[in-house]
Chain A
Amino acid sequence: MNSEEIIEKLKSAKGDKLKDTEVTFGDAIVHLEPGSLREVAEFLKSDPDLNFDYLSCISGVDYLDLEREPRFECVYEFHSMDKNHSIRLRVGVPEEEPTVPTVKDLWPAAIYPEREIYDMFGLTIEGHDEQKRLLMPEEWEGHPLRRDYDLTREKVAFSHNIDFKEELVKEKVPTRYKPNQV
């Protein structure tokens, strides 16, 4: 199926659950609310014509700087191995209620990307039994890929500052390199 047919098929079956659909650069893209993710995902997996059996990746995006509502977005990329087509689900997650349901039971490979979403963006994954940090240390504070989490750097001991321990503080990078400041 090509992207338009996928969108048509999805619209005819679950039209009321979809917020918006688009075909950009030939990719089928569907916008969703977190509440309807489970139902749409189950349909995508079980429908024999669509048969999205392969989870490619889950990306989180924080749209704070672009002042877009809702603030967060979880982007799910699915392939079908035998039909050779793909779909992208963009699930907008509001800041007030930062939860998305898990898809771990449908695609077990989601276990790591979902933990990464929690680690990096602080979104709660509803139904994920192992919700803990993945890449950052357990005791880390904050969620690094949020846009309001500043880039920081730590002092490292060299021979010239061997007594650095008293100044072991994180410091802000002076300016973020933006084109309009050049």
Chain B
Amino acid sequence: MSVAEEGLLERNKDTMTLNMGPQHPSTHGVFRVVLEMDGEMVTSSDPDIGYLHTGIEKTGESKLYAHCIPMTDRLDYLNPPGNNLAFCLSVEKLLQTEIPPRADYLRVIMCELTRVASHLLWLGTHALDIGAMTVFLYCWRERELILDLNEMISGVRMMTSFIRVGGVMKDATPEWIAGVKHVIDILPEKVDEYESLLTRNPIWMDRTVGAGAMTKEEAIRWSMSGPCLRASGVDFDFRKKRPYSRYQDFKFDVPVFTNGDVYDRYRIRVEEIRQSREILKQAIEKLPDGPYKVDDNKISLPDRDKLKTSMEALIHHFKLVSEGVKVPAGETYVPTEGPRGEVGFYIVSDGSSIPYRMKLRAPSFMAIPGMCAMMKGSYIADVVAIIGSVDIVMGEVDR
């Protein structure tokens, strides 16, 4: 029974208004929430967002499709390949192109590596918020390996812009594949290590079990997505339910927990790291040969060495860089599963090479009203744990 149901909120005493943020370290960015407190208990919470509003949706309306991809990196800055993929899938649906298998596998590998990195960053900072300092250092150690792999393949550690319309930026090198294999090899042992620090830790369980609990119906009503939805007992993952980018080729489980509290959200993300590792293992083993982008010079750039010998390739290169991809008129939306939940771009094209409208469906943005519903009736100390457990990224909340 929650505190609100027990009638503890009916005491009618004077309440205190407490401002939290926007510079509070546990809000992971610039999130401000005004809490109405009755003693130690939150009676209502009023979120205030928009501090990080950058107008990316507006800027996108004046940029070529290729120029939008680096901007999508910066929306959810912990999941750049996932955002690139969501954008590219929508554009490719309008273009009606078939992506070669190798490109799809490389996309999956990048997305799953980033999912692991994002969950590691979440685990480290979430544990730090609650007071477990050591986990943070361990998580950073493994995340660093993945960032190094990003640098190896794309030249950038975080904002990779690796996934492009029509394929990926460049082919995988043997060194990179060896690096991914190394991460796959060490990951199970490391995840066990984090779990040995937290899962049965009585202090951790005291702080997290039962805090911010959300039922299945509530989670659906408040449009929670990703790990928060599955922690409440809804078995819904776009990778399984509506496979994109050949996710149907891989065998993996979707972890589902039922209590929907902070502890279950922690368990589910740890389990997802393990399942991402399974996908990575199969993807590296089965990585097909072939081209890494579509063989259509109206969509993807011609190979560099062709430019010196083929006049046609040179013209295509010039046209594609200066004018961009002409996307047929229409509108579409493709949902994908990011580390935080459903990510998708609603794109309206008018037939030119500039999106008429690009709208991001951001899981963190949709989760904020639900997160504030969780806070109601909880103790002030749990607010930090709840904000951490939902894993909001302000870059995509404010856009």
Contacts and interface: CB of A to CB of B under 8 A. Distances in A.
A179 B57 contact: no
Interface stretch (A2-10, A13-21, A92-100, A108-116): A108-116
Interface in B359-376: 359, 361, 365-366, 368-370
B352 A77 contact: no
Interface residues of B, number: 48
Contacts of A77: 333, 346, 361
Contacts of A135: 49-50, 53, 398-399
B356 A109 contact: no
Contact of A108 (B49, B64, B222): B222
A173 B59 CA distance: 11
A46 interface: no
B369 A151 contact: no
Nearest to A138: B50
Nearest to B323: A179
A111 B369 contact: yes
Contact of B220 (A25, A60, A81): A81
A25 B54 CA distance: 32
A176 B96 CA distance: 28
Q: How large is the interface on A (under 10, 10 to 19, 20 to 34, 35 or more residues)?
A: 35 or more
At the interface, is chain B mostly helix, strand, loop or mixed?
A: mixed
A108 B59 contact: no
Interface in B321-374: 322-324, 330-333, 335, 342, 344, 346, 348, 350, 352-354, 356-357, 359, 361, 365-366, 368-370
Contacts of B342: 56
Given A61-B357, A151-B59, A177-B354, A54 B220 contact: yes
Contacts of A84: 236, 241-242
Nearest to A176: B62
B245 interface: no
Contacts, number: 103
B333 A108 contact: no
Interface in A66-101: 66, 75, 77, 79, 81, 84, 86, 88
B139 interface: no
Nearest to B329: A66
Contacts of A107: 221, 223
Contact of A61 (B344, B348, B361): B348
A47 B300 CA distance: 45
Contact of B55 (A61, A137, A144, A178): A144
Contact of A109 (B55, B354, B366, B399): B366
B395 to A, nearest CB: 13
B58 interface: yes
A86 B335 CA distance: 10
Interface of B: 49-50, 53, 55, 57-59, 61-64, 93, 96, 220-223, 234, 236, 241-242, 322-324, 330-333, 335, 342, 344, 346, 348, 350, 352-354, 356-357, 359, 361, 365-366, 368-370, 398-399
Given A24-B330, A147-B61, 12 more contacts: A24-B332, A25-B332, A54-B220, A56-B342, A77-B346, A79-B335, A109-B366, A133-B50, A134-B49, A135-B399, A145-B57, A177-B62
13 contacts: A61-B357, A66-B356, A84-B236, A107-B221, A108-B369, A109-B221, A109-B222, A112-B369, A135-B53, A135-B399, A137-B50, A147-B61, A182-B322
